[in-house]
Amino acid sequence: MKTINMKSLFCITALALAGISSQAQSFDPRPQFGDDLPTVQYTVQKYAHLQNLTIQLNEFEQPEYTVDSTHRADGVDDVTMCYQDFWYLFNERLYNVCTHYIVVNGKYEYMEEQFPDIPQDQLETSVKRMGFQQKIGDMYFSDAYDYYYKIYTKREGATWEYHATDVSKLPENIRAIVQKGIAAGRSKASTGNKDTLRATNTADFELRPAHYLFMEAEEFSDGLAVVAADKYGEVMIKSFGKNNKFGYINKSGVFQILPIYESAQPFKDGFAIVQSEYRSNPHFINKAGKNQFNQYFREARNFSEGFAVVGGVDKLYGCIDTTGKLITQFRYDKIGDFKNGYARVYRDGKWGFINGKGVEVVLPQFSAVRDFHEGYAFVEKQADGGTYYQYIDSTYKIAFELRAEAVSPDDAHYLGRNEYYDFHNGVIKIIYYPRGHFVGREIRYIDTKGKSLNTAVGRLAYLGEDALFVEKGYRGPYSGLKNIKDRWQVEPQFEEIGNFSEGLAKVKLNDNWGYINRNGDVVINKDILKPKGSILNTYPITSAENFSEGLALIESRSGFGYINHDGAWVIEPSFYKATSFKNGFARVKIPGRTEWYYIDKIGRIIRPERR
């Protein structure tokens, strides 16, 4: 029998709904409020069947889902689906959970779940993180007051109920407050935004009141972020992509371009690439959602420095400018993105460079090239039966030549996958193999005149800020920092050292992470200096990222959060997935949910738009 990590249970659900049969492609896995009893029973039984089919086909050691239906004398029917060893992310443990779909007078009215051994306040924290922050008594309403959770404790344990808001069924003393909240939510959704989006997009998109989940989310770029939106559903129950469409939100969380596309890429230089249907030809849209150039391309890449690579006939490529005009005809087999004023081009088996006017400033003649960096580009040329590794400058002349052993034929992936051969702060890093591939390997740092500055050893050497280099010590497993004069600036003492960012670098020691300054002083989390087994002042940091926009993403016992340069929590660790800040926002996932949210630098969640 096969075993499975229960954290992967969500993947099982997705597989069951998307890959088991053609029926799963069109099956909505959750009852809808107002469904009649037979529909609820069928939907729940079908959902459980698909789950169990996945478990059986994959021979997982996972208990199967069970479904039961009970009729009460008071006109209430309880359709119950139970599952054992279910992983609830908000508490990171396994539960035996039964979900009750309560049908009142023949119509599905609400969902109920109990959680043994979980305190009620933990459920309250969870629903707040899901966006239900409008608390009235024991009810937690969404911002639009159209749905709410009711939380209380009964004999079976802490319990929540999930309802669609029906004001007539609420206690009389809160009806006016809720009615006012509903009216405010509708007003916000309809003023200015809906009419504009109707005009600039399509009437086919569903605009009825709903919540949207961001099942996929990208960083903000050019003021907008591309997201894949899905309808808001019950906890842990979604259509897993069946309803996903891509659109763009602004920094208020409002859709500036509705999610109507089968695929979409981030905005660059004011334009984005989208596809309206699966396998349809891509086109560029502007921030109003219009086809900017009124044409479609065989292939297209994002704009870079005012130019975009597009594919034409005969599988050849050209470049367009921001007016849609071709600056070079469809004549190349490959074209790189523009970087530092130039783009790499490939035709007839050789590489060269073009400028922003489409002129071949360096004719295709090289077997390999890299982009220009700080006025220099690496080139490889085959001539006279030999291979030459050279750097050309911005006058397109040879600046200097490397020794033949600078690039091993077996190590050619360095040319395409890292920055070793690009200039940074006037220095490049070259790996030499004077006695053959990976035998007596040397790492050398070379200036713009081809002069070797120092020789280093170790596998962890790379460029950092201000040409500082992380090196292994000659003895022992520890790393330190060297400058370009081959002198230790920070003696080897850390297990791992990251790149410097905003004046600090992450370091690992004794299975704990902290941050050092350029002098090697530990300025954040000095507990890392304590030997293993010592009493610590704070919980260990299990992972850390570089500082970005004044904050660093770190993981501790409670999840992911963000600290400032003083090491103080700015956003408490409460997320189970998170990214670093960029352009003022970070993307996070909240325990108990699988969709993405955006937060600002004080931890406020940018809500999915309510309509």
Same domain, 133 and 183: yes
Query: Domain containing 89: what range?
Result: 53-110
Same domain, 186 and 128: yes
Q: Does residue 224 contact residue 242 with C-beta atoms inside 8 Å?
A: no
Same domain, 130 and 179: yes
| Residue 157 within a domain | yes
Which helix (H) or strand (E) covers residue 53, if one does? Answer: helix 37-57
Alpha carbons 246 and 235: distance in angstroms, whole number: 22
Alpha carbons 145 and 371: distance in angstroms, whole number: 54
Structural domain count of the chain:
2
| Residues 496-506 pLDDT 10s | 888 888 999 99
Which band of pLDDT confidence, cut at 50, 70 and 90, is reported for residue 78? very high
What are the strands of the beta sheet with 245-249, ordered from one edge? 212-217, 225-231, 245-249, 255-261
Which band of pLDDT confidence, cut at 50, 70 and 90, is reported for residue 543? very high
Name the CA radius of gyration of the chain, rounded.
29
Token pair for residue 254?
A: 């409002």
Same domain, 165 and 104: no
Which helix (H) or strand (E) covers residue 310, if one does? Answer: strand 307-311
Same domain, 126 and 171: yes
| Residue 361 within a domain | no
* Domain final residue pick, 110, 136, 153: 110
pLDDT above 80: residue 179: yes
Listed ranges 115-124, 185-194, 403-412; the one with the highest mean pLDDT: 115-124
- Looking at residue 459, its pLDDT comes to 40
Alpha carbons 264 and 165: distance in angstroms, whole number: 34
Token pair for residue 335?
A: 């074209």
**Mean pLDDT throughout 87-104?**
69
Token match 């630098």: residue? 601
| Residue 140 within a domain | yes
| Residue 159 within a domain | yes
* Range list of H helices, 201-272: none
Q: Does residue 493 contact residue 522 with C-beta atoms inside 8 Å?
A: no
- Looking at residue 460, its pLDDT comes to 41
Q: DSSP letter string over 555-569?
A: EETTEEEEE-TTS-E
Same domain, 125 and 184: yes
| Residue 501 within a domain | no
pLDDT above 60: residue 89: no
| Residue 183 within a domain | yes
* Domain final residue pick, 190, 222, 246: 190
* Domain final residue pick, 159, 190, 221: 190
Residues found in the chain: 611
| Residue 102 within a domain | yes
Alpha carbons 187 and 179: distance in angstroms, whole number: 12
Q: DSSP letter string over 474-485?
A: SSSS-EEEE-TT
Q: What one-character DSSP code corresponds to residue 529? A: G
Alpha carbons 217 and 588: distance in angstroms, whole number: 10
Alpha carbons 315 and 347: distance in angstroms, whole number: 12
Same domain, 87 and 148: no
Return the bridge partners of 342, or none.
339
Same domain, 133 and 178: yes
Per DSSP, the three-state class of 466 is helix
Question: Comparing C-alpha atoms, which of 590, 609, 9 is closest to residue 254?
Answer: 609
Alpha carbons 577 and 7: distance in angstroms, whole number: 13
Same domain, 96 and 140: no
Same domain, 95 and 126: no
| Residue 366 within a domain | no
State the Cα angle at 605 between 599 and 608, rounded to 5°.
110
Q: DSSP letter string over 144-210?
A: TSSEEEEEEEETTEEEEEEEE--GGGS-HHHHHHHHHHHHHHHHHHHSSHHHHHHHHS-TTS--SS-
| Residues 434-484 pLDDT 10s | 665 555 666 777 889 988 876 555 444 444 555 566 766 555 578 888 776
User: For 160-177, b where at least 16 C-beta lie within 10 A, e where not — what string?
Assistant: bbbbebeeeebeeeeeee
